[in-house]
């Protein structure tokens, strides 16, 4: 299937690590131009080396996404360097465990800044370019938005808002032919997920208990599988899909655990 993404400029927040890295590499493999926004300069450098060695075009912008001014500058940089933006993938975030018992109102606002506000900011600043290209937005959400997790009010509510904004923007941007969808992962092995596992006395035992509850194959979702869903939603093959929440989770959220 030809996704017809060649030459498309795709801005990806958190594009140098984890799911974002897989999306960036997937874009490059389709001859699109990933523009990676990430606060981690070492991870950005590593991605630049990887993409350069393979002969891929790319953009890289070190950016503190909690700062709206830096978000605006990053979008401006993408437009100045490549002349256009065809897609935005809002991906960056962290399950920071800010809950009712282990957080404060200040911590809660900070969690929303890390996990929600930059989704709006990047979309706002990219909107003019996306109107010109009749582009697409894909928001990365989380199963915590619909299942809850406990002890993570900030992250869960941010991701719930991401799902709501996906539908809201899909409606608002209909006149401009801009499609907006969300991908909802559940259990994906990323560097942040590995760090979380290490907080348990027996990380392997915790991992085994998680994968045993994933109906399809009793395994973690691969970051590349999330990326594949994102690329499809960005492509012309998904040209009549908007306002949708696509769960890529091996049936974790919606299938009866008795099946696993």
Asked if 129 contacts 83 with a C-beta cutoff of 8 angstroms, the reply is no
Q: Which residues of 117-138 are buried (b: 16+ CB within 10 A; e: fewer)?
A: bbbbbbbebbbebbeebebbbb
Give dist(CA 181, CA 237) in Å, integer.
14
How would you classify the pairing of strands 9-13 and 87-90? parallel
For residue 155, indicate whether it is catalytic: yes
Give dist(CA 76, CA 3) in Å, integer.
26
Beta-bridge partners for 12: 36, 89
Closest CA to 89 of 258, 260, 232, 257: 232
Name the catalytic one among 58, 155, 193, 247. Answer: 155
User: Residue 23 class from Cβ within 10 Å (0-12 exposed, 13-18 middle, 19+ buried)?
Assistant: buried
Report the catalytic residues: 155
């Amino acid at each position: 299937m030809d996704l017809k993404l060649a030459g498309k400029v795709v801005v990806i927040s958190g594009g140098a690590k984890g799911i974002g890295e897989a999306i960036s590499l997937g874009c490059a493999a389709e001859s699109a131009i990933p523009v990676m926004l990430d606060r981690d300069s070492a991870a950005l450098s590593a991605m630049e080396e990887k993409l350069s060695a393979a002969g891929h075009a790319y953009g890289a912008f070190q950016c503190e996404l909690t700062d709206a001014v830096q978000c605006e500058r990053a979008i401006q940089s993408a437009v100045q360097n490549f002349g256009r933006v065809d897609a935005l993938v809002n991906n960056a975030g962290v399950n920071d465990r800010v809950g009712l018992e282990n957080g404060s109102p200040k911590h809660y606002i900070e969690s929303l800044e890390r996990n929600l506000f930059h989704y709006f900011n990047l979309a706002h600043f990219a909107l003019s370019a996306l109107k010109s290209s009749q582009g697409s937005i894909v928001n990365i959400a989380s199963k915590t938005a619909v299942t809850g997790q406990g002890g993570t009010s900030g992250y869960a509510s941010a991701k719930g808002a991401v799902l709501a904004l996906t539908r809201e923007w899909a409606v608002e941007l209909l006149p401009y032919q801009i499609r907006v969808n969300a991908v909802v992962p559940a259990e994906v092995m990323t560097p942040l997920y590995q760090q979380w596992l290490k907080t348990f006395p027996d990380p392997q035992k915790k991992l085994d208990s998680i994968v045993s509850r994933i109906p399809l194959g009793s395994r973690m979702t691969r970051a590349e599988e999330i990326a594949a869903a994102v690329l499809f939603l960005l492509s012309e093959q998904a040209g009549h899909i908007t306002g949708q929440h696509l769960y890529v989770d091996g049936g974790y959220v919606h299938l009866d655990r008795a099946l696993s």
